Structure 1
Amino acid sequence: MARAVWALGIVLILLIGVLAWLEPVRKHPLLVSLFFAALMIVPFVLRFEWRSLDSRELVLLALLTAIAAVCRVPFAGLPSVQPTTFVIIVTAVVFGAESGFVVGAGAALVSNIFLGQGPWTPWQMLSWGLVGLTAGALQNTPVMRWKSLRLLFGFIWGFLFGWIMNLWVVAGMENWSLSTFAAVYVASLYFDLAHGLSNLFFLALFSSTWIRILQRFKVKYGLLER
């Protein structure tokens, strides 16, 4: 089942890449990009839905999603500085890729109830979902086990998150060229760096403690065991 979902996700990504060059699609780039961003989320949500979960596990994931979302609100005045990515990473490290993806996507949706929904929401759901997905996929590797590599992972994702989000900005432009595409990415450099440094800060201070606490809950109550 897991392989089928991953295969479906890869096929969707390739399909999006091909369709993006078709003329009808290029006439309405923003609308189509929203549809594709939402479509890419579907395989991972379906994979999570097919798992057998009890009420305690659902409550835990809902709580972690709420924490990740609420943590973003007090930092709204500081662009790209927030602990949301940190919460998603430690969740994925303990509970796996699927839980990380769902918490990441859910955090974007819930936090935007307070900060404002818009065409950026599906892209934020996708971006934060991918943070959780990759962190969970690497949970048993040195990248997540060694603190220094975990910090590097969070710092790099500060930039990757911004680069993915830049795509919806470019998609919303009626006319764009290679120079405008480059200009968008150069303009986002400050915000990407701020995001990467904030991830570095929160992971350095709190990740080891949070991981130990969540692992105790997982072992004690047998939550989200594979």
Structure 2
Amino acid sequence: MNGPGRPARPVRIGPRAAVALALVTLIGIAAFGWPLLADRQSGLAHSQDAPWLFAALLPLLVAVVVATIADNGMDAKAVAMLGVLAAVGAALRPLGAGTAGLEPMFFLLVLSGRVLGPGFAFVLGSVTMFASALLTGGVGPWMPFQMLAMGWFALGAGLLPGSERIRGRAELLMLAGYGFAGAFAYGFVMNLQGWVILQGMDHGASFHAGDPLPANLARFVVYYLTTSLGWDLGRGVLTVVLTLALGATLLKALRRATRKAAFDAAVSFDPGVGTEPGPPSKRVRTAAEGDIRGAPR
């Protein structure tokens, strides 16, 4: 339990949230990777499987939120905070206009994932990408894949170690390093989604359905290095700069908001005090205030 002098902790993944996250991750891996294992007669087209992926993704995102709330006893304040952060992230994305991969929303998701924890971070990343696609007119067969990749990116920030021990400059350096590496990982995964449906490229960089997996992966590496490495470099550098420049202030603000929302408030019911039996009393201890109040039920 957090007292007045202790920093807010990220929301932990409970068993139900872990099951929901594992399920959506397995579906995402299958959605990204199945063309690499398909034969020549499979009729590859992510534009055809994208609606099915989107239909499966939305209820699973809701399941992650519900499971996280159920496991941690949170209320509507947590969902409201997710909505605010998703709106801010969606508003940040058009600022870079996709120029040279400059996307400022990435640093916000790194810091938010650190504070909110992996379960809510996954939902935040996915919902932010969905909202930004609506805002910028970027709706297309790639959108559910973007939602998954951004969810994984934010989830990774929530899984970083030492949330209660690493603070200050060391924490910022760790988050900046993760943001830099994660920016490349996001681009790598998203390029895999688009690469399998591109046609007419040089033989050494194009996808060939039915070819052995190692041969196709080697061609994909060539494709990524020649088409997207510089783009992802810009995204990674901007994430590092913004994290180091604004990270301390934003982390402090997010943790203060988390404490005020009392995400880890615990409610217990104790028997009434005294010699005569009476109605039980409810004792509530909030992480934000660190006090105990008794009231008849």
TM-score normalised according to structure 1 size? 0.84
| Helix, strand or coil at the partner of 1:82 | coil
**Alignment partner of 1:193 is 2:233:** yes
Assess, with a 3 A threshold, how the Cα gap between structure 1 residues 204 and 139 changes in structure 2: closer, same or farther: same
Q: Which has the higher helix share?
A: 1
Q: What's 2:136 paired with?
A: 115
Choose which of 57, 63, 66 in structure 1 pairs with 2:78. Answer: 57
Choose which of 31, 51, 64 in structure 1 pairs with 2:47. Answer: 31
**Alignment partner of 1:71 is 2:92:** yes
Assess, with a 3 A threshold, how the Cα gap between structure 1 residues 3 and 157 changes in structure 2: closer, same or farther: closer
Q: What's 2:156 paired with?
A: 134
Q: Which has the higher strand share?
A: 2
Amino-acid identity (%): 23
Assess, with a 3 A threshold, how the Cα gap between structure 1 residues 78 and 106 changes in structure 2: closer, same or farther: same
Assess, with a 3 A threshold, how the Cα gap between structure 1 residues 42 and 139 changes in structure 2: closer, same or farther: farther
| Distance in 2 separating the partners of 1:65 and 1:78 | 21
Q: Which runs of 5+ in 2 are unaligned?
A: 1-15, 207-219, 267-297
Larger Rg: 2
Q: Mean alpha-carbon deviation: is it higher for 13-22 or for 160-169?
A: 13-22
Choose which of 181, 205, 213 in structure 2 pairs with 1:156. Answer: 181
Q: What's 1:2 paired with?
A: 17
Q: Deviations over 1:41-80 (max 9, x none)?
A: 7645422223244222222110000001101112216242
| Distance in 1 separating the partners of 2:28 and 2:146 | 17
| Helix, strand or coil at the partner of 1:72 | helix
Is the 1:94–1:139 Cα contact (8 Å) retained in structure 2? Answer: no
Q: What's 2:272 paired with?
A: none
Report how far residue 207 of structure 1 moved: 1.1
Q: Mean alpha-carbon deviation: is it higher for 133-142 or for 79-88?
A: 133-142
Assess, with a 3 A threshold, how the Cα gap between structure 1 residues 224 and 47 changes in structure 2: closer, same or farther: farther
Q: Deviations over 1:163-206 (max 9, x none)?
A: 01101221222577552332244210111000000100110111
| Distance in 2 separating the partners of 1:218 and 1:9 | 26
Assess, with a 3 A threshold, how the Cα gap between structure 1 residues 174 and 30 changes in structure 2: closer, same or farther: farther
- How many residues align structurally? 226
| Distance in 1 separating the partners of 2:103 and 2:42 | 34
Report how far residue 110 of structure 1 moved: 0.9
Assess, with a 3 A threshold, how the Cα gap between structure 1 residues 102 and 224 changes in structure 2: closer, same or farther: farther
CA RMSD of aligned residues (A): 3.0
Is the 1:91–1:99 Cα contact (8 Å) retained in structure 2? Answer: no
Assess, with a 3 A threshold, how the Cα gap between structure 1 residues 25 and 151 changes in structure 2: closer, same or farther: farther
Choose which of 104, 110, 116 in structure 2 pairs with 1:83. Answer: 104
Assess, with a 3 A threshold, how the Cα gap between structure 1 residues 18 and 60 changes in structure 2: closer, same or farther: closer
Q: Which runs of 5+ in 1 are unaligned?
A: none
Q: Deviations over 1:141-174 (max 9, x none)?
A: 5788622222111111111111011012212225
| Helix, strand or coil at the partner of 2:99 | coil
**Alignment partner of 1:46 is 2:67:** no
Amino acid at match of 1:58: V
